[in-house]
């Protein structure tokens, strides 16, 4: 059997666009004489549709779209993902389903069995799990059709009581198809490989895996659809971070050679993911231009470099807002960066505005020393100016905070935490440096002085981040152990970290939860990003 894998970039709720892409891929596969073309999980409506699924009209539009797609499946079969209405008397009204289309109609509907409810997933909120599973019989082949999580219940990480693949294996299928919506993270390629290798070896069956590509707000889908032979060897992987369609003969999998590297460099993956995240956010919201504040520091420099690669230099407006505390080199470095990226920089001096604030507040603050209040005023002035620019010119403000700062509350609400999208909010500060150096691997895009100088918010004379924070190498390790690995203070201390520092850092993380609840959406590149995937109580006492 000749199978086509169609890895496409869908837009949630954009049925016309999604349907057109699917139909065009069906036509292309048919012209290549494919027997079957496979699309990803919930491809008809986009993933994740979230509370759109609670609208009856949304479900009706899904059904109508599936029927229209089916009408094009003559002389070829297709598998598409969409929600399906449940026929059960009890339980939720919908199933996460895969539709097998052939001869111009819907031949069978297959429901997802294992519904993930962890991290960014919340499928049990909307869907009812499958009551039974069965294979597809087509052109003399028996196909085990699974939907994403249905293959993830493997030895060593059992999250569910049942395994749909064990049931499907009783029908002695010839191969497995897995349609998925698997978001990108730095380690996801290794996790997927483990899953598919295990299943292929256990059942001695080839696996055809098709994933979404594109970004849906904070979630980035890398595609990386792949084919495994019965020995658990990945014999081909589709392009990452772009649409792709490939054709495979089920009898020739062992002869398929992948001429590209299956393992990519960490920072190459992160850069590609963030560029796609920014590009799709603007494209799918139909915004054309981005605004950001440029401080002369590494965070805003990296954000600008990513934004320019995603949107083009003419579509990104950097604004310099120096104060009396800004160093000359910060201004010069920012101007050099803009020249390197061919961006037109704008400058607004904030000292007069800051002085005006001081004059108006003087009676209220009489006799009180300069402190974080005056620092935050500067940040909020900048935030107000940036938002004024976005309002006037219809752009989106890009937030430039990194994960280390967001973790410990090193940011100002309604100031430098403002924005419509956080580009590097899932990058620890050490990763910000690592990605910046990677971007400079061939040419100096980000001026070297920005990378090598000691970081500072420049909100008071001679200020340095190290005045209030430990070295980022130490801080980030503690944060990673706590946020990503869920280690207790005792476990972190046993790893060699200073006891007082550990308690201080964890306290900063926990008492600043309220700030992160007000942060913009953060592009997710780790397995535990701030936002929808990390749900912590704001007023919790634990570890404080």
DSSP code per residue over 296-315: SSHHHHHHHHHHHHHH-GGG
Percentage above 70 pLDDT, the chain: 98
Q: Decide if pLDDT at 227 tops 90.
A: yes
| pLDDT at residue 457, as a whole number | 75
pLDDT of 259 reads 45
Confidence of residue 460 (pLDDT cuts 50, 70, 90): confident
Euclidean distance between CA atoms 54 and 57, whole angstroms: 9
Higher confidence at residue 153 or residue 25? 25
Active site residues: 41, 112, 148
Mean pLDDT of 345-363: 96
Mean pLDDT of 484-505: 96
pLDDT digits 0-9 by tens, 153-206:
987 777 888 899 999 999 999 999 999 999 999 989 999 999 999 999 999 999
- Range 319-344 average pLDDT: 92
- In angstroms, rounded to a whole number, what is the distance separating the alpha carbons of residues 405 and 426? 10
Q: What is the pLDDT of residues 294-309, one digit of tens each?
A: 999 999 999 999 999 9
> 131 or 260, which is more confident?
131
pLDDT mean over 316-335: 91
> Is pLDDT of 252 > 90?
no
User: What is the set of domains in the chain, with CATH numbers?
Assistant: 2-264 (3.60.110.10), 270-466 (3.40.50.620)
Q: What is the pLDDT averaged over residues 494-500?
A: 96
Q: What is the pLDDT of residues 254-307, one digit of tens each?
A: 765 554 455 568 999 999 999 999 999 999 999 999 999 999 999 999 999 999
Place of tokens 């070896």: 201
Residue 77 has pLDDT above 50, yes or no: yes
pLDDT at 263: 56
- List, in sequence order, the alpha helices (H) in 298-428: 298-311, 328-341, 351-361, 372-393, 403-408
Sorting pLDDT into bands at 50, 70 and 90, what band is 455?
A: confident
- Give 211's strand partners: 180
Statement: residue 111 has pLDDT above 90: yes
Average pLDDT over the chain reads 95
Residue 467: pLDDT band with limits 50, 70, 90: confident
Answer whether residue 536 shows pLDDT above 70. yes
pLDDT of residue 462: 79
**Contact in structure between 476 and 404 (CB atoms under 8 Å):** yes
For residues 539 and 514, what is the distance between their CA atoms, to the nearest angstrom?
Answer: 8
Above 90 in pLDDT, residue 464? no
Looking at 31-40, 257-266, 534-543, which range is the least confident one? 257-266
Q: Using the predicted structure, report yes or no on whether residue 443 has a pLDDT greater than 50.
A: yes
Q: What is the pLDDT of residue 538?
A: 92
Query: b/e map of 87-112 (b: 16 or more CB within 10 Å)?
Result: eeeeebebbbbbbbbbeeebbbebbb
**Residue 541 confidence (pLDDT):** 83
Q: Say yes or no to pLDDT of 253 above 50.
A: yes
Cα–Cα separations (whole angstroms), residue 468 to 206, 414, 450, 504, 528: 55, 21, 20, 11, 25
**How far apart (Å, rounded) are the C-alpha atoms in residues 112 and 133?**
9
- CA 61-63-68 angle, 5° bins: 95
Q: What is the mean pLDDT of residues 400-419?
A: 96
Q: Are 428 and 528 in contact (CB under 8 A)?
A: no
Output the CA–CA distances (angstroms, integers) from residue 538 to 119, 159, 511, 520, 522, in the order listed.
Answer: 18, 28, 7, 17, 19
Q: What is the pLDDT of residue 214?
A: 98
| Residue predicted with more confidence, 114 or 466 | 114
- What pLDDT is attached to residue 124? 95
Higher pLDDT, 362 or 455: 362
Query: What is the pTM (predicted TM-score) of this model?
Result: 0.95
């Amino acid at each position: 059997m000749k199978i086509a894998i169609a890895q496409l970039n869908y837009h949630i709720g954009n049925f016309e666009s999604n349907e057109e892409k699917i139909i065009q891929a069906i036509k292309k596969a048919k012209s290549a004489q494919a027997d079957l073309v496979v699309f990803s999980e919930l491809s008809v409506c986009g993933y994740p549709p979230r509370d759109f699924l609670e609208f009856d009209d949304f479900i009706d539009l899904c059904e109508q779209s599936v029927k229209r797609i089916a009408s094009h499946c003559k002389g070829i079969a297709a598998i598409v993902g969409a929600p399906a209405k449940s026929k059960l008397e009890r339980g939720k009204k919908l199933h996460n389903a895969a539709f097998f289309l052939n001869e111009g109609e819907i031949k069978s509907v297959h429901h997802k069995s294992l519904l993930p409810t962890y991290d960014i997933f919340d499928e049990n909120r909307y869907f009812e799990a499958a009551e039974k599973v069965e294979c597809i019989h087509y052109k003399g082949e028996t196909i085990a059709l699974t939907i994403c999580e249905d293959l993830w219940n493997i030895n060593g990480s059992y999250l569910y009581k049942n395994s749909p693949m064990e049931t499907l294996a009783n029908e002695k299928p010839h191969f497995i198809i897995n349609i998925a919506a698997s978001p990108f993270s730095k380690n996801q390629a290794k996790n997927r490989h483990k899953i598919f290798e295990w299943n292929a070896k256990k059942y001695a069956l080839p696996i055809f895996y098709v994933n979404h590509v594109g970004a849906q707000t904070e979630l980035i889908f890398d595609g990386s659809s792949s084919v495994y032979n019965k020995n658990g060897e990945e014999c081909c992987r589709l392009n990452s971070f772009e649409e792709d369609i490939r054709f495979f003969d089920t009898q020739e999998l062992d002869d398929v050679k992948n001429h590209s590297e299956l393992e990519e460099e960490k920072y190459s993956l992160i850069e590609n993911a963030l560029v796609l995240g920014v590009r799709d956010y603007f494209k799918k919201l139909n915004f054309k231009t981005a605004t950001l504040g440029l401080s002369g520091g590494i965070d805003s420099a990296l954000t600008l470099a990513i934004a320019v690669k995603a949107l083009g230099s003419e579509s990104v407006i950097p604004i310099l807002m120096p104060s009396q505390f800004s160093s000359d080199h910060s201004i010069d470095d920012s101007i050099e960066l803009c020249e390197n990226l061919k961006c037109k920089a704008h400058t607004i001096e904030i000292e007069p505005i800051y002085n005006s604030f001081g004059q108006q507040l003087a009676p209220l603050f009489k006799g009180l020393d300069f402190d974080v209040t005056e620092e935050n005023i500067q940040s909020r002035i900048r935030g107000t100016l940036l938002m004024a620019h976005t309002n006037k010119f219809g752009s989106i403000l890009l937030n430039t905070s990194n994960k280390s700062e967001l973790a410990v509350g090193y940011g100002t609400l309604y100031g430098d935490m403002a924005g419509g999208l956080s580009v590097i909010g899932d990058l620890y500060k050490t990763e910000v440096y690592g990605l910046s150096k990677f971007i400079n691997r061939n040419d100096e895009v980000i001026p070297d002085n920005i990378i090598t100088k000691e970081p500072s918010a420049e909100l008071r004379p001679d200020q340095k981040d190290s005045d209030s924070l430990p070295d980022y190498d130490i801080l980030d390790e503690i944060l990673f152990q706590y946020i990503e690995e869920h280690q207790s203070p005792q476990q972190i201390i046993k790893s060699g970290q200073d006891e007082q520092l550990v308690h201080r850092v964890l306290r900063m993380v926990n008492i600043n939860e309220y700030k992160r609840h007000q942060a913009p959406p953060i592009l997710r590149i780790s397995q535990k990003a701030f936002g929808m995937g990390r749900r912590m109580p704001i007023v919790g006492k634990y570890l404080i």
